[in-house]
Structures are given as structure tokens and as C-alpha cells.
């Protein structure tokens, strides 16, 4: 895969148990093991699912009315399977969105469930990839 479809991040170790993730645009995120304020990889997975859907939904409903509140909560259980491997189950997101009173707000409220379904069913690359399952190559060592 190359060209416009390729997405990439670089991860660099800073100290034991802490890393920094960088994107090609210069953004940085600290990642750790959950012993401090840094995000853990599992939290980043939850954030990616929620943020992907939130961005889709925001664009779709904000065309009708600017939300007065917009929040997404993403949850899941980290468990071990029968083989002893770790995985996340019961992944779910919950939107809390309000719009102003009036015709535009009514239109946005009406569009919200459809926008969430559209994001889940075809727009959000993160949740679709997780649900469909995509093999991950470990690459050369």
C-alpha cells in the first residue's frame, strides 16, 4: 500500500514504560502503562473508536445546527480469552448531544441517530476495522 491510502505513525521510547507517538503533521501523544496521566494503548483504542465516530457525526449534524453540548463516552472490558490472550470485549459508545431549541435544532436532533448509524455502518474506518478484523503483520525484525 502506498500513496494517498497509506497512514503512518512513529513511536519512540522515552524511558522504560513510556513512549511518544508522532504523526507526520508533527502531533505528539505520550503513551504509558497507566501509572501516570499518559494514555495507555487500550485507552487510545477506545479514543480512536470514539473520536472517529464523533468526528463523522459532528460533521453530519452540525450542518443543521451547532450543538450546545457534544460528548462521547466509550467503554469496554479488558479480558483474557480461553487461550490466555488479552482482548477487549463489550465495546460500546454513548453519545450525549444537545441542540438549541427551534427548527434547526429539531432537524439536528432528528438527524443524530441516522448520523451515528452511518458512521458505524460505513464511515468510521476505526470501528469498521475492529469489527471486521484485519490481520496485522509484524514486519521484519
Question: pLDDT tens digits, residue range 65-120?
Answer: 999 999 999 999 999 999 999 999 999 999 999 999 999 999 999 999 999 999 99
Instruction: Find how far residue 98's CA is from the centre of its chain.
Output: 21
104-115 pLDDT per residue, tens:
999 999 999 999
Of 74, 118, 78, whose CA–CA distance to 96 is shortest? Answer: 74
Reported confidence tier of residue 33, pLDDT bands at 50, 70, 90: very high
Q: What percent of the chain has pLDDT over 70?
A: 98
The pTM of this model reads 0.90
Amino acid at each position: 500500500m502506498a500513496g494517498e491510502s497509506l497512514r503512518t505513525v512513529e513511536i519512540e521510547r522515552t524511558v522504560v514504560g513510556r513512549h511518544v507517538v508522532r504523526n507526520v503533521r508533527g502531533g505528539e501523544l505520550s503513551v504509558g502503562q497507566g501509572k501516570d496521566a499518559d494514555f495507555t494503548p487500550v485507552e487510545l483504542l477506545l479514543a480512536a473508536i470514539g473520536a472517529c465516530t464523533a468526528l463523522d457525526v459532528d460533521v453530519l449534524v452540525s450542518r443543521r445546527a451547532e450543538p450546545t453540548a457534544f460528548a462521547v463516552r466509550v467503554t469496554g472490558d479488558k479480558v483474557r480469552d480461553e487461550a490466555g490472550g488479552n482482548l477487549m470485549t463489550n465495546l460500546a459508545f454513548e453519545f450525549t448531544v444537545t441542540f438549541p431549541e427551534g427548527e434547526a435544532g429539531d432537524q439536528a436532533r432528528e438527524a443524530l441517530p441516522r448520523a451515528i448509524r452511518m458512521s458505524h455502518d460505513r464511515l468510521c474506518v476505526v470501528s469498521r476495522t475492529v469489527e471486521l478484523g484485519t490481520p496485522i503483520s509484524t514486519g521484519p525484525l
